[in-house]
Amino acid sequence: MSGSPPAGGGFVRRVGLFQATAINMSQMCGIGPFVTIPLMVAAFGGPQAVIGFIAGALLALADGLVWAELGAAMPGSGGSYVYLRQAFQYRTGRLMPFLFVWTAMLFIPLIMSTGVVGFVQYLGYLAPHLGRTAGDLVGLGVIALVVLLLWRGIENIARITAVMWAVMVTSVLLVIVAAASDFSPHLAFTYPAHAFELTSGHFWPGFAAGLTIGIYDYLGYNTTAYMGAEIKDPGRTLPRSIMFSILGIMAIYLLLQIGTLGIVDWHRMTDPNDIASTSVASAVLEKAWGKGAADAVTVLILITAFASVFTGLLGGSRVPCDAARDRVFFRPYATLHPRHRFPVLGLATMGVVTAVGFLIGRHTDLATLIQLLTTVMVLVQALAQIAAVTVLRKRQPGLHRPYRMWLYPVPSLVALVGWLVIYGYADRNSPGRHPIEWSLAWLALGCVAFLVWARLEKVWPFGPKEVAEEYLVAPRTEPAGA
């Protein structure tokens, strides 16, 4: 995650457009679509829930253009950490990249904890008498197993990821085909009265909740931006991989959503005592092809959930480690295991936070957990990066930008409005949970942690500012004439 452009002996640019798009899509489509369809239906109160997935895709596309311009201009390894450091170093030193790492240590494991919640939900289909306490213990056991496997060091990560991708694609395709084999347009396209009444008091809170769930399902479209130092011709490949992956996943999600609504009555998805509210993909397979097929696909979904948590913690644990090695976070996080060479403290911390997040999700609900993680992410990543595009255009007008945002600043404004809607409705959509207050408290605690760290490192505000415009003077990475 070093913020410097790749130098000789560093990363090799070997990831092309097809591989980059596949990497994004594999991160976007894990357990998410299998657990969020009932949540989306509950948010909108009917099959018009498809609006949420479309709105989430539009927000992802607008925000993706922000990532595309920043990633193409600064194609080093690190993503948000690099962009925020370059944009805000002039006034606040290393505060913004530090806060990004601070919040990433919360929202990355919270995302992983949703996968564990989904695992336990689908396990409930195979073991219908699984109680709450037993489910809690199974989920904590899954997390402990993942950490244990990562603690011993892992070989052949690319092969494991490929297997996960294949299992995930197989699961999604089987659900889509099963839904199509017994599809009822009447179920899918019969809406309750006043479903689209924009002036009602229910529509916009439901839309905000659906938009939150929708963007959660698309998270991962920016994965290749964190691998900028390994992307071939990043000025072209990064923007295209982001756009293609969002459009591809949108098509898959729409087929999955509409197909599911056309075979399972949406009222079942809002009944907490119905298996369709927790294991809707299993309900689809059971109705279309019988219990045996449903059991088999449920096993594939469990593998997908486990693998998504495994790869997520594998990558996420490296974030504080790389930042510490680049002197933007606490130095103990740079420590590697003496034998297996993995980040000890980063993996341990994120394992604990994943366990806490899992218990929060189990003892509140999955929608609350999604609301918490997106609210934490909005301030320091989403909104700050939107500002970073404008700041860098003013501060570094000479920065080589192989890709410039279409219709600037319209996509930035669309993304800004979308993220503000998610943030502004967070408390209303999670009554009694106070996600806005928790996000502000975490940010304030991060500022205190930064002051402690800055004092130890003797950097701004306890030392001189260090302004580095390495991408402004770095050689271009694109072929001549790009």
Q: What is the CATH number of the domain that holds 98?
A: 1.20.1740.10
Residue 263 has pLDDT above 90, yes or no: yes
474 assigned to some structural domain: no
Q: What is the pLDDT of residue 5?
A: 45
Residue with structure tokens 């605690």? 445
- pTM, 2 dp: 0.89
pLDDT in tens, 135-174: 999 999 999 999 988 887 655 565 666 677 788 888 889 9
Residue 472 lies in a domain: no
- Asked, for residue 4, whether it belongs to a domain, the answer is no
- pLDDT above 80: residue 480: no
Confidence tier at 11 by pLDDT (50, 70, 90): low
pLDDT score for 482: 36
Residue 425 lies inside a defined structural domain of this protein: yes
The per-residue pLDDT for 225 is 84
**Residue 283 falls within a domain, yes or no?**
yes
Q: What is the mean pLDDT of residues 333-361?
A: 90
Sign of CA dihedral 257, 258, 263, 267: positive
Per-residue pLDDT of 25-59, as tens digits, reads 877 877 888 899 999 999 999 999 999 999 999 99
**Residue 423 CB neighbours (<10 A):** 21
Percent of the chain with pLDDT over 70: 93
Residue 320 has pLDDT above 70, yes or no: yes
Residues paired with 15 in a beta bridge: 231
- Residue-averaged pLDDT of the chain: 88
pLDDT, one tens digit per residue, over 97-108 is 999 999 999 999
- Whether residue 252 is contained in a domain is answered as yes
Q: Which domain holds residue 117?
A: 17-464
Q: How would residue 1 be classed by pLDDT, with cut points 50, 70 and 90?
A: very low
Mean per-residue pLDDT for 225-234?
Answer: 81
Is there a domain that residue 144 lies in?
yes
CA distance 152 to 160: 15
pLDDT average, residue stretch 456-461: 93
Q: How far apart are CA 271 and CA 279, in angstroms?
A: 12
Instruction: Quickly list DSSP for 447-459.
Output: HHHHHHHHHHHT-
Q: What pLDDT score does 241 carry?
A: 92
Of the given ranges (271-275, 352-356, 407-411, 475-479), which has the lowest mean pLDDT?
475-479
DSSP 3-state assignment of 188?
helix
The span from the CA of 66 to the CA of 390, in Å, is 10
- Total domains, the chain: 1
Q: Distance of CA 185 to CAs 150, 180, 270, 384, 481, Å?
A: 46, 10, 20, 43, 51
Contacts 24+ apart (CB under 8 A), 391-396: 391/87, 391/88, 392/70, 392/73, 392/83, 392/86, 392/87, 395/87, 395/90, 396/86, 396/469, 396/471, 396/472
In a domain, 3, yes or no: no
CA-CA distance, 349 to 336, in Å (whole number)? Answer: 14
pLDDT for res 479:
46
